[in-house]
Amino acid sequence: MIIMKFGGTSVGSAERIRNTAKIVKSNAKKRPVVVVSAVAKMTDALIMLANECREGKGNSALEHIKKIHYGILGQLGLNNELLEHDMAELENLASKSKNKKSDSRLLDCFQSFGERMSSKIVAAQLNKIGVKARAFDSWDLGFLTNSEFGNAEPLEASHARIKNSIRKLDAVPVITGFIGKTENGEITTLGRGGSDYTAAIIGAAVDADEIQIWTDVDGIMSTDPRIVKNAKTLDKISFAEASELAYFGAKVLHPKTILPAMDKGIPVRVLNSFNPKNKGTTILKKSGKNHRAVKAIACKKNVTRINVDSKRMLGAYGFLARLFDVFAEHKRSVDVVSTSEVSVSLTIDGNGNLEPILGKLKDIANIDMAKNKAIICVVGENMRQIPGIAGITFSTLGKDGINVEMISQGASQINITFIVDGKDAEKAVKVLHREYFG
Ligand code: ADP
Ligand code: ASP
Ligand code: MG
């Protein structure tokens, strides 16, 4: 059995859906389990609709959502009836939410319609070309989550339920990525880009032979191809390397995707639905022989750097615990940490809603904060054995006048991570890519 997850661009138009269905058909013998994202940009449109409703504005987003979906149905020769129930439910939700305060629970409900509709279209197209298929909302196969709306985690009990439900099917399941339900029946989402994570969870649950992530580039590349045009596709990388890259901004994989696959040792393959013959990137336990020290460079923008300085408290036990408790209380995860004898520097994702955290931190230390920073992460397992990479990295940046503010190397020693100003981020990636990949 294989998992085939198709992202937004792979189901972004009638033509793309036809193509995706063909790719599934050509893998029919491998017993595919299909996981789909919403039609490209649809999650953004649904969030816009939720905002319009909150502000009591007209439903221009709703019209757009209908136009795109009905347009695709028309071009595929499918009947509008396929989505009528979902559209009526969405319309009802929109009218009930007019002028109401929106929260992450309501937002998840709005967002769920993207995947609920795309899965039905893909299943219908598969049936049309002779592949017996059936659309499922993930919860109908037992995909349950906790109630952390906007960032939900699957419940342990999901695994056995998913395995059981899928085993009984006599058609190719086309399952909604990104969304789940709590035990109380409330809809949740796994966070933006979360369909990759759904695919990995389902893959681990059914002990799949492979988890395939079909996207719009040839695989995992040496860096974001939107920043460096000649970024190179990587043949193989390790779970550890892929994890670091995904965590530090390589959008091609949701950061949580690797864990379920790694736990079960299931290879993950990133493939291009626009170029299906290409063999893509395989993510394995060990990436095998490759003499390159640096495999790839990731970049994550819109990061806030906080320097914490407490001459009184540092060295006193319990200080770091108190410090990190503040972030835990506010559910903000700390990405990069670097400490010296008298200060701690750390970064958190995003630039917004920092006042409550800063208020608490000021009670225990002096704080200096800077927004709009970027994390750059240079990744490669061979860096452990090859000396001098840190030297080359920082002198390359220095030659180009890029100031590095904070440096950190994890215990695994497979990455060098540092902070630069947001305005220097792309330049830093470009000069390092030129240095390491030519
Ligand atoms: P999907 O809709 O298929 O989930 P995403 O947009 O989430 O696709 O992810 C694919 C995109 O990730 C690529 O188009 C590319 O711009 C971006 N990306 C960022 N870093 C990398 C990288 N190192 N390798 C490949 N793609 C990357
Ligand atoms: N549709 C969701 C998003 O745009 C999930 C995904 O595409 O993986 O974030
Ligand atoms: Mg994605």
- Pick the range with the lowest mean pLDDT from 24-33, 356-365, 398-407: 356-365
Q: What is the pLDDT of residue 179?
A: 98
| Same domain, yes or no: 30 and 151 | yes
Is residue 250 assigned to a domain?
no
| Same domain, yes or no: 183 and 314 | no
Which one of 194, 215, 236 terminates a domain?
A: 215
Q: What is the pLDDT of residue 50?
A: 96
Q: What is the pLDDT of residue 386?
A: 83
Cα–ligand 3 centroid distance for 310 (angstroms):
41
| Same domain, yes or no: 75 and 187 | yes
Give me the number of domains the chain comprises. 2
Which one of 215, 238, 256 terminates a domain?
A: 215
Does ligand 2 lie within 6 Å of residue 8's CB atom? yes
pLDDT in tens, 146-158: 999 999 999 999 9
Cα–ligand 2 centroid distance for 183 (angstroms):
23
Cα–ligand 3 centroid distance for 327 (angstroms):
27
| Same domain, yes or no: 170 and 39 | yes
pLDDT in tens, 102-121: 899 999 999 999 999 999 99
What count of other Cβ atoms lies within 10 Å of the Cβ of residue 286?
Answer: 11
Which of the listed residues 192, 196, 217 should we mutate to test ligand 1's pocket, taking the one with most ligand atoms within 8 A of CB?
Answer: 217
What are the tokens at 387?
């000396």
| Same domain, yes or no: 51 and 152 | yes
Going by the DSSP 8-state scheme, the letter that residue 153 receives in this structure is -
Closest CA to 269 of 206, 200, 201: 200
pLDDT in tens, 272-331: 999 999 999 999 998 776 678 899 999 999 999 999 987 666 667 788 888 899 999 998
Is residue 44 assigned to a domain?
yes
Q: What is the pLDDT of residue 207?
A: 97
- Could you give the C-alpha distances from 416 to 241, 279, 303, 336, in angstroms and in order? 12, 29, 17, 11
Residue 196 CA: which ligand 2 atom is closest?
8
pTM: 0.95
Closest CA to 250 of 285, 279, 283: 283
Q: What is the CATH number of the domain that holds 188?
A: 3.40.1160.10
- Closest ligand to the CA of 178: 2
Beta bridge partners of residue 420, listed in sequence order: 374
Is residue 69 assigned to a domain?
yes
Which one of 215, 245, 273 terminates a domain?
A: 215
Cα–ligand 2 centroid distance for 35 (angstroms):
12
Does ligand 2 lie within 6 Å of residue 128's CB atom? no
Is residue 414 assigned to a domain?
yes
Q: What is the pLDDT of residue 313?
A: 64
User: CA–CA separation, 71 vs 13, rounded Å?
Assistant: 9
Ligand 1 atom 10 nearest Cα:
252
| Same domain, yes or no: 309 and 176 | no
Q: What is the CATH number of the domain that holds 405?
A: 3.30.2130.10
List of residues 6+ apart from 277 with CB closer than 8 A: none
Q: What is the mean pLDDT of residues 403-431?
A: 93
Q: What is the pLDDT of residue 324?
A: 92
Cα–ligand 3 centroid distance for 261 (angstroms):
17
β-pairing verdict for 210-215 and 268-272: parallel
Q: What is the pLDDT of residue 120?
A: 98
pLDDT in tens, 246-289: 999 999 999 999 999 999 999 999 999 999 999 999 999 987 76
| Same domain, yes or no: 205 and 301 | no
Cα–ligand 2 centroid distance for 8 (angstroms):
7
Ligand 1 interacting residues, C-beta cut-off 6 A: 7-10, 37, 193, 215-217, 220-221, 223-226, 245, 250-252, 296
Exposed / middle / buried, residue 430 (Cβ in 10 Å: 0-12, 13-18, 19+): middle
Q: Which domain holds residue 121?
A: 2-215
Does residue 254 contact residue 186 with C-beta atoms inside 8 Å?
no
- Could you give the C-alpha distances from 208 to 89, 202, 257, 351, 405, in angstroms and in order? 34, 8, 14, 39, 43
List of residues 6+ apart from 168 with CB closer than 8 A: none
The pLDDT confidence band at residue 364, using thresholds 50, 70 and 90, is confident
Q: What is the pLDDT of residue 291?
A: 72
Share of the chain above pLDDT 90, in %: 84
Q: What is the mean pLDDT of residues 39-65?
A: 94
Is residue 237 assigned to a domain?
no
Helices (H), 11-130: 14-26, 42-54, 60-76, 81-96, 104-128
| Same domain, yes or no: 56 and 180 | yes
Is residue 140 assigned to a domain?
yes
Q: What is the mean pLDDT of residues 185-191?
A: 98
| Same domain, yes or no: 148 and 14 | yes
Is residue 229 assigned to a domain?
no
